[in-house]
Amino acid sequence: MLAAMDADATAEVIVIGAGIAGASAACEIAARRRVLLLERESQPGYHTTGRSAALFTETYGNAAMRALTRASRPFLFEPPAGFAPTPLVSARGTLLVARSDQLAALQRAFDECSRLVPNLQRCSGEEVRRRVPCFAADQVAGGLLEPDARDIDVHALHQGYLRLMRERGGRLLCNAEVRALAHDGQRWRVATAAGEFAAPMVVNAAGAWADEIAGLAGVAPIGLVPKRRTAITFDPPAGAAIADWPAVIDVDEQWYFKPEAGRLLASPADETPSPPCDAQPEELDIAVLVDRLTTATLLRVSRIHARWAGLRSFVADKSIVAGFDDRAPGFYWLAGQGGYGIQTAPAVARAAAALIEGQPLPADLADLGITQAALSPRRAGLGNAQAGACAASPARAPARVAERAGACAALLLACQCASRQGAKNEQR
């Protein structure tokens, strides 16, 4: 039956999922192999990739993810000629901030990150307030400035990879949700909503659905847990010149905000376990954000202009899973990017292309201490943790959320009323 297949139904590598992970990997693999990129939605990047408030910051994540970010820097800052019509990054900076009771955490962050980011700058509370004048004296005691952090143009990066993949002969097929996946001894047969396809190797870059794809293939799960992250945009203080503000992040990651197209984008940095789905924001999460922002800063959320949510998927150790599964021939995992998928995509894609060719990791990745063992789907600590995590999702953490739910709901109601009044005023 495989021999009778149309040539367009076969490839050397099938990549499942056309978000940033799948698109970048497909592009790099297509330099040497015939690649078919399958996407379940009508357009690539509909889920997490298309909802990311992406920053390039070398102080974010554990040691493995920071090293992958560092390895991605050359590509993001100086992409190949013609890769995108605009720069992939633009100046932003990040500023970790701390209250007086958080200064020990700020010191730990400096000690950990200054080895990789030598120009990390300590700031006094007064310096923080001068850079971002939306704090009272008792709200901030210090900060860490990462001047080289950048905003990432996610659309330009994603489309650049898709364009280059096509130029290299790769094909993208949308509306192709995978319904069955089995190995016949020679190739993987992939039954989708758009037809049946076959290839000796499959790259599982299905994001929040990666463990489900593995289940279709009879491959043991890695314990992937999708977690919802919520964001809003709202008006900055009247008259505030916010364009040059850095992204401001609570050192304990309870909230963050940054300028976005003349407004402020903010998030409660929530990580609520969720089944794979088209994530939507919940009112309580937005209310918690409003409460946290108005407690930690002088900002006031009088009108919410946009709200959304996306899923960021993690395994137990919060490092990406990238490598062949030794229990399934030709089955390559590319999952668990968490909140680091955009800024690590160039390095992770090059790693995938090298491993698929049977080569060692690129030398620049190895020089940063990145190893195949650290990325392996069979490393210690991974496994079927998903069921327990998702079963616990109705319990809202931390406990203060439940304790203050009434107050948060009232805050949200006030914001909604203000938004409706603002809309009426505009109509007048």
Domain annotation for the chain: domains and CATH numbers: 7-75+153-224+316-384 (3.50.50.60), 94-147 (no CATH), 230-240+252-313+395-428 (3.30.9.10)
What are the phi and psi torsion angles at 119 (to 5°)? Answer: -95, 20
Separation CA 314–CA 311 (nearest Å): 10
Sign of the Cα pseudo-torsion (361, 206, 383, 315, in order): positive
Q: In this predicted structure, what is the pLDDT of residue 171? A: 97
Strands 142-146, 150-152: pairing is: unpaired
Q: In this predicted structure, what is the pLDDT of residue 7? A: 54
Nearest-10 Cα torsion for 313, 316, 319, 321: -70
Q: Give all strands of the β-sheet with 13-16 in edge-to-edge order.
A: 171-173, 35-38, 13-16, 201-204, 331-335, 321-324
Separation CA 57–CA 343 (nearest Å): 8
3-state secondary structure of 331: strand
pLDDT in tens, 400-425: 444 344 444 444 444 454 444 444 44
pLDDT in tens, 189-243: 999 999 999 999 999 999 999 999 999 999 999 999 999 999 999 999 999 999 9
The string of DSSP letters for 357-394 reads TTPPPPHHHHHTT--HHHH-TTSTT-SS-HHHHHHTTT
Separation CA 406–CA 24 (nearest Å): 44
Separation CA 392–CA 274 (nearest Å): 10
Q: In this predicted structure, what is the pLDDT of residue 52? A: 74
Q: Residue 320's closest CA among 72, 2, 3?
A: 72
Tokens 């949200």 sit at which residue?
412
pLDDT tens string, the chain, 428 residues long: the values are 344 445 568 899 999 999 999 999 999 999 999 999 999 999 998 877 766 778 999 988 899 999 999 999 999 999 999 999 999 999 999 999 999 999 999 999 999 989 888 999 999 999 999 999 999 999 999 999 999 999 999 999 999 999 999 999 999 999 999 999 999 999 999 999 999 999 999 999 999 999 999 999 999 999 999 999 999 999 999 999 999 999 999 999 999 999 999 999 999 999 999 999 999 999 999 999 999 999 999 999 999 999 999 999 999 999 999 999 999 999 999 999 998 999 999 999 999 999 999 999 999 999 999 999 999 999 998 975 443 333 333 333 444 444 344 444 444 444 454 444 444 444 43
Q: In this predicted structure, what is the pLDDT of residue 414? A: 46
Helices (H), 78-177: 103-113, 125-131, 154-167
